[in-house]
């Protein structure tokens, strides 16, 4: 086996390992997305006010610099 083939096999193995690790993360993110959407549907006004308040304070923090 030459060096190029060895590196290609190593890259394929690394890619497969990354894919295996990403699958559970994608599922967890999908679950989180569903939960967040549910909260927004159940409490749209509170969600909007929370986002506006957070944006206000982040803006104030950034403006002071």
Residue with the bigger pLDDT between 37 and 20: it is: 37
For residues 38-49, give the mean pLDDT. 97
Q: What is the pTM of this model?
A: 0.59
Question: Hey, where are the domains in the chain?
Answer: 3-63
Query: Average pLDDT of 6-30?
Result: 87
Angle at 16 between CA 6 and CA 11, to 5 degrees: 25
pLDDT at 16: 85
């Amino acid at each position: 086996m030459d060096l190029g083939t060895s590196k290609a096999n190593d890259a394929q193995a690394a890619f497969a390992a990354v894919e295996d690790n990403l699958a559970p993360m994608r599922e967890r993110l999908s679950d989180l997305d569903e939960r967040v959407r549910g909260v927004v549907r159940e409490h749209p006004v509170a969600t909007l006010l929370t986002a506006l308040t957070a944006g206000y304070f982040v803006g104030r923090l950034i403006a002071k610099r």
